[in-house]
Structures are given as C-alpha cells and as structure tokens.
Structure 1
C-alpha cells in the first residue's frame, strides 16, 4: 500500500502536463490545484486494500435476495405489471417496493453496493427543483436550471418539476455532494454537451436519459458557486469522471455520444455503475487514462446489473490498471469484443451472460492490447459463473481467485449468469409515477 501511494504521488505531479491536455482546464490556477490535491487525498482514503471482500459482499447480497432469505422475494418477479413490486436485484430491492418513494427519495442513498457503497450524494442537503430546461448562461446560470443546481454550494438533492429535454451548451461541471434524481419525470440530457465530474466527491446520477452528446466548444464556464474558469473543448463523453471518488450511476439510459458513454480516468475510484441500459455506441466505457498513468492503479469500480444492448461495438468496459468487478450484467450485443484492457488491470467477471455476435472473428469476450501473451498471462482476468452463448468464450489469465493473498475466505457463492435476465429486467431509466411503486 505504501508503494502504491508513493507511485501515485509521483505520477500525480508529473501528470500536471496531462491535466492541461485532458482535463480541459485552460488555466490550472490555484483553485484547480487545490481541488486536485483534495481529490488525490480522497482517492487514497477511498482505496480498499482488500477489494475482493467488496466483491464478496455484493455476491452475498444477490444470493440472499434470490435464495428466499429476503422477505420480499415472493414479490420480486410478478408476471403482471400491476403486481406488488418489481424489484429484481438487491439495489432495487432497497427502494423500489415503496409506493411512497417520492416522499422518501433520499432512501436511495442507502441502497448503493459495490465500490461506490459509501456514496450518499446530496443526502445531507435540501431538495432543489429544476423547473427550467434552458442552458443559456454559462457564467451566471439562471436559477431553476440544472447548471445552476449542480454548481451550488453544499449538498443538494436535485429533482425535476416535469418532463424535459436539456440541451447543454457546454459541459456540465458538477460540484460534490450532489444527487441528480430524475424519478417522476422523463428527463433527457441530449443534443448538446455531457456531464463532467472532475476533482470532486460524492455524486449520484439516477434515472435520467443521456444521448446524442456532442463536443463542447469550451469557453468561460462556471464550475462552482465561487469559481469561473476557462475550459478547452470537451470530448463529447456522456459522463466523464476525472480524478473523482464516491460516484454512483444508476438506472441511466445512454446511447450515441461523440466519445465514450462513461469514462473514469485520472485517479478516479470508489465507483458503482448499476442498472443502466447502453445502446447504439462504439466505445462504451473507458476506465483508466492511459498506459503510462499509474495513478489509476487505485481505481476500483463495480459494474453490476446493466444491460449492454443493441448497436454496441466494444469497451464494456476497456480497463487500464485498477480493479474492476463485472457482475450479473447482460451482454446481448457487441461487434468487436465485450471486455478489454491493457496495463495489467484486475478484472473479475462473475455471473454475466455473454451472447456472441454471428461473426466468427468476434466470439471472444476479451481483448488484451499492447502486450505479448507472456505478459498478459499474468494479468488477473477471471470468469466465474458466466453464461457463454452463441460461441462466446472468455480467455482467463492470472491466479485463480481462491488463491488470492488478499482474500480472507473463499468467494461467497454468486448467482450464475442464468439469473441475469431477472436481475437486469428493469435496467435503464424507469417510468416512476408518484403514488405507485416504481
């Protein structure tokens, strides 16, 4: 752990030059230097030296829910939509069976599992109601707009007064301790720039649709209640997580962005991506900034209960460095490969369903880049309980999980990929109606 920290500190300061290029910060002033230092410390504190224990806990929660030990099991899989509850996995089971969810919105903050499990978003703050979908003033955003909400001081739980399509004129720079909660409205972030979570902590993005995101031209943009800075051109990511920790993305539908749907880079960690639906995109998720940036070895991400659907090509995810738990996702479409990486990331794939495309050259789930077999054979990429269909196959490497020196006991029995259609049945943004179970 000491060695990891030392390397991270060295590369953090060497990376200032990279920040200028990749962070889209035209002037790395004292404000941004202070935020970067704070973010680095938070990432160190968030790093779990025993990540396998986090994967065990998630597997145990799924097992309890599906074994009948949970009292709500009889309500999980009702055949008709008028049934008492539509909860299908342990995250949803935490809140979706409450018909009074609109009065108890903040219950959601206690439901996250995996590496982002300590994320509470705007739990400790008041509600902020977005009433205006416009985004016309980047420096002094209009009260009632989403840009005004996410740049306010202190925790906020942000909700929406009605259905709306928000076209962001420039990237939406969020401050920490915020929840964007789209339940009860049909909210689209579309046709403009995407969301940037940079050098902050504690963000929840829940139940919105993000699609058709384009590159922002940059310019003078407010990035907090007390700072305005000049930004270079943004990449066109749907959600960009840069040097940030404690982030939870849940029940988000995403498609067709200029760059990635979700990127997590430059020392970001303690992240859970769950219950999302991804469609119509080439490079879906990138975890890790570059092969040369070893600061991403602190990265720990859970990808759970998501549906990777029609029109996807690759990177579900593509990983550099770090530790990624890919559990109980449904991979029904890809054109090139599903899970890839370089620079010895640890990838634990458990209980997923992989349905390979008809192309005989694309049956392999995995892809390793920029390394000979003599090197990548040492990377830990393990598959347990995955269902392989239509000729799909996962090339494993590295030590078996049960022999891991960090594991205090054997991996708890997870649910195999045959359960995935149940666990991911309601992935993506939900149509939640006030007064009814969501």
Structure 2
C-alpha cells in the first residue's frame, strides 16, 4: 500500500463515524462535515508517513540526520524561487543571543549580526527564543534563517526586510505581531549603515529582491501585510506557510503603474490560509503568479485578487467558503471595469470548490511556457489536506526525524 493511500485510508477512518451518522442528511452537508473533519485531523497526518507527496518535505524530512545535513534544504526548493541557495555554500552561524539592543553595532551572536555579514551564512538557533527587534532586520545576500530544532519567534517589533539583495531562504520561523518602526539608523552590511524612514510593519518585506524562498513559516497579526513582494522583485517561492488572523495577507506588486513588476514571477504553493484571514491570498498587480495546491479554509472578502492585468493560474487548490453568502467568490478583479478585466488572464484548473465557492475566470488561459517555468506539477486538489498537513513552522527536535 502506497504512503499516500495509507494516509487517505487513515483520514477516512477518522471520519467514518460522521459519514454513518450523516447518511440521512443533505449530501452537501455531508461533504462539508467531511472537510471539517479533514481540517481537524490534518495536523496529525504528517506523522503517518515519511513521503506524503509534498515535494519539498519529501526531499529532506525523511532524513533522521537532517540536523547534520541542514544545507541540503537548499536543494529542495520548487517554483520560481527554486534557485535560491541562501547560505548553502557558507558556514553555520549560531544565534546565541536573542537581544537586539543596537541596530548599528549589533553584538556577535545576535540574529542581526549574522544577517548583515557579506559572506554566505546558514543561520540557526541555539535554543528556543523570542526576538523582539528594535528596528527592521535588513538582510544581506546569501543568507538562510533556519529555525528547525528550536521554537523561534520574531515578534512584537519590526520584522524582516529583504531589500535589493538576492538568494535568501527563511524557514521554520514564527513571525507575528510585527509593528512599524524607523526614523533611525540601521546597519545593512559590515561596511554600511544608513537612515531608515518608518517601515510599514510587514512580516516579510521583499523590496527589489530576487531568488527568495519563504518556507514553513507561521505568520499572523502584523500591522500591514504578512508578506509583501514589491518593487521589481522576482524569482520568489512562498511555500508551506500557515497564515492566520490577519486582514491583508500577501501583496505582490508595488502599485498599478510600477511597470518593473511586470517581470515578477511568484509561486504560491502548499500553504494553508486559515482562520481569521480576510483578503490578499495573494493580491497581484503585474507579472505571472502560479497558485498551486494551497488550502483555503477562510476568507472574509476574497482569496485571490488583482489589478493591472496580472496573469494568475490557480491550480489544484481547495477553496472552502464560509457560510457568509457575501464571501463565496474566490476572486476579485480590482480597479477596472468588466470590459477591461475580462481580458486579464486568470484561470482555474482542477480546483476544488466547496460550500458555494466559485472562481471567476477571464482571458484565454495561462501560457503553458509559464507553467513549465514554475517547475511545480500540481497534485489533485483532493490531496491538498495531506500535502498541507504540516504547513507552518515545524516542531523539529535534534536527533529525531522532523
């Protein structure tokens, strides 16, 4: 019996009492009860089998010595950000000090000291810690922030800025309650510090960055966006993240008139968009966005939206609408009359629509060359609950399979 079939068998073992008790109900309600049971059990599924069909996790999580082979993770990326190597070719840097007292002259052992260095570094954490940043954390190129093996929270202050740099991996971090800060001096490299105006309070801000991969992070409750990708950023993958309790989740594009964003390519894959989310999962302005095998269990206004004629391919996602009759539409075409947006290239392929959810397609369908370039082959939407079962920061411990 295959691992995936075994997992599905166990899922339906979990829900069989519901199916028996509900056999006299309306069939539509039975389907909803099944989906609710899948959600309830979804976070236990990751321990049932080593390989579950998530190509990122299947690449490294089966290794019981993952902590001795940390940089192997850089070979496991998918999508447009698949070439992000982060600190793969550098030394291991261990964060031993959770403080952030000086944004200009950070102490060795702090997270800020590691991310500003010029050489590639793979940054890990000595122990569980909560890091309340004094100013936004401005990263230098070729860095990985790897939270595996510890419970690491960046919270309560400004958060992560990836500005005009390349090859960044952020993995396994809890990022929440981010706040604006600024009008202060902040160091961005050993040779340079400068005056920073107020930041917006995003969880992760990618500003003119490229080859960026954000994977297995848990994000919630920030002052502005959870993840913003703007100002000509491209070659981005956002995968396996768990997002909750926030209004504007993901923004892709600076503004409608910023034409450099037409080159933007972003893969949004295997994420769980959970309770308390309202909109922007993602909201796209320009470029090509591949939204594949994500699990949407709540949206207040819409799930996927855009303006300025982005190309959006939604493939193999699961959309479970709320009972609010005004929140059934997955899509929102913004800033243009129908006579204009009817030509925007938005397509839905193999998506699962539940509880009245519906996707308004437009244009002629995403070009196959873009889908090939994204390097993500969609799994059936029926597999999404298993593929995304462990979205968010993983509870990995040293010496055990993650």
* Normalised-by-shorter TM-score class: 0.7 to 0.9
**Aligned to 2:260, what secondary structure does the other structure show?**
helix
Partners of 1:75 and 1:154 in 2: how far apart?
A: 45
Q: Counterparts of 2:248 and 2:67 in 1: how far apart (Å)?
A: 35
- Alignment partners' CA distance in 2, 1:82 and 1:352: 22
Segment drifting more, 72-81 vs 197-206: 72-81
**Matched residue SS, 1:422:** helix
Match of residue 153, structure 2, among 184, 188, 199: 188
Q: Is the 8 A contact 1:78 1:85 kept in 2?
A: no
Q: For 1:126, which of 91, 96, 99 is the aligned residue?
A: 91
Change (3 A) 1:378 1:430: same
Structure 1 residues 77 and 119: CA distance shift in structure 2, 3 A = farther
C-alpha deviation, 1:86, in angstroms? 6.0
1:379·1:398 contact (CA, 8 Å) conserved in 2?
Answer: yes
Gap change, CA 1:357 and 1:99, over 3 Å in 2: same
Could you list the per-position Cα deviations for residues 291-333 of structure 1 after superposition, in whole angstroms to 9, with x for gaps in the alignment? Answer: 1101100000000000000100000000001100000000000
CA distance in 1, matches of 2:272, 2:344: 26
C-alpha deviation, 1:370, in angstroms? 1.0
1:208 aligns with 2:173: yes
Query: Who is 1:429 aligned against?
Result: 393
Is it true that 1:344 corresponds to 2:348 in the alignment? no
**In structure 2, do the counterparts of structure 1 residues 414 and 193 end up closer, same or farther at CA, with 3 Å as the change threshold?**
closer
Q: 1:296 to 1:401 in 2, by over 3 A?
A: closer
Q: 2:186 maps to which residue?
A: 221
Give the distance between the partners of 1:395 and 1:82, measured in 2 at CA: 37
Aligned counterparts, 1:72-111, within 5 A: 85=50, 87-111=52-76
Q: State how far apart, in whole Å, the 1-side matches of 2:117 and 2:9 are.
A: 42
1:22-52 Cα distance to aligned partner (Å, 9 max, x none): xxxxxxxxxxxxxxxxxxxxxxxxxxxxxxx
Q: Deviations over 1:89-126 (max 9, x none)?
A: 01100000001000000110000000001111000100
Per the alignment, residue 24 of structure 1 pairs with: none
- 2:33 maps to none
Secondary structure of the corresponding residue to residue 213 of structure 1? coil
Is the 8 Å Cα contact of residues 320 and 341 (structure 1) preserved in structure 2?
yes
Note if 1:275 corresponds to 2:240: yes
Q: Aligned-pair distance for 1:400?
A: 2.9
Q: Cα deviations across residues 41-90 of structure 1 (Å, max 9, x unaligned)?
A: xxxxxxxxxxxxxxxxxxxxxxxxxx96xxx7688779677656265401
Equivalent position SS for 1:361:
coil
Is 1:179 the counterpart of 2:179? The answer is no
Q: Cα distance 1:130–1:277, how it changes in 2: closer, same or farther (>3 A)? A: same
In structure 2, do the counterparts of structure 1 residues 365 and 94 end up closer, same or farther at CA, with 3 Å as the change threshold?
Answer: same
CA contact (8 A) 1:376 1:397 kept: yes
* Contact in 2 for aligned 1:280/1:311 (Cα 8 Å): yes
Query: SS where residue 153 of structure 2 aligns?
Result: strand
- 8 Å CA contact 1:76–1:86 kept in 2: the answer is no
Structure 2: state its 5+ residue gaps. Answer: 11-43
Q: Name 1:140's counterpart in structure 2.
A: 105
Shift, 1:388, TM fit: 0.4
1:373 corresponds in structure 2 to 338
C-alpha contact (below 8 Å) 1:95/1:108 kept by paired residues: yes
| C-alpha distance after superposition, 1:195-214 (max 9, x if no partner) | 00000000000001000001
> Which consecutive aligned stretches of 4+ in structure 1 deviate over 3 angstroms post-superposition?
72-84, 404-409, 411-414
Give the TM-score normalised by structure 1: 0.80
Q: CA deviation at 1:335?
A: 0.5
Pick closer, same or farther for the CA change 1:134–1:259 going to 2, 3 Å: same
CA, structure 1 residues 192+86, in 2 after alignment: closer, same or farther (shift >3 Å)? farther
| Counterparts of 2:100 and 2:372, CA distance in 1 | 51
TM-score normalized with structure 2 length: 0.87
Is residue 76–residue 88 contact of structure 1 (8 Å, CA) maintained in 2?
A: no
Counterpart residue number, 1:243: 208
Gap change, CA 1:246 and 1:406, over 3 Å in 2? closer
Q: Is the 8 A contact 1:87 1:96 kept in 2?
A: no
CA–CA separation in structure 2 for the residues paired with 1:408 and 1:329: 18
